[in-house]
Amino acid sequence: MGNFITADRETDYLFPPSMQDWLPEDHLARFVVELLIYGYATGVFSILIYRFQCGMG
């Protein structure tokens, strides 16, 4: 019966409350999140349209 993992019950949260506290400023995940937010706000859901808008396509 040694399959149990001990847990610290005093931990307030598992992950940081904000991505800004967790990732460095130049991390790729920040760019991806901003791109997804931009796509949601503008109604663009195609990577090809992103490429054309950025001048890459």
The verdict on residue 36 lying in a domain is yes
Q: Residue 46, exposed/middle/buried by CB under 10 A (0-12, 13-18, 19+)?
A: exposed
**pLDDT reported for residue 48:** 79
The verdict on residue 35 lying in a domain is yes
State the total domains in the chain.
Answer: 1
**What pLDDT digit, counting tens, does each position of 2-57 carry?**
788 887 788 777 776 777 787 888 999 888 888 888 888 888 878 777 777 777 76
- Domain encompassing residue 39: 23-53
The verdict on residue 9 lying in a domain is no
CA distance 43 to 57: 19
The verdict on residue 34 lying in a domain is yes
> Residue 1 pLDDT > 70, yes or no?
no
**pLDDT reported for residue 57:** 60
**pLDDT reported for residue 40:** 85
The number of C-alpha atoms within 13 Å of 25 and in the hemisphere containing its C-beta is: 0
The verdict on residue 14 lying in a domain is no
**pLDDT reported for residue 16:** 67
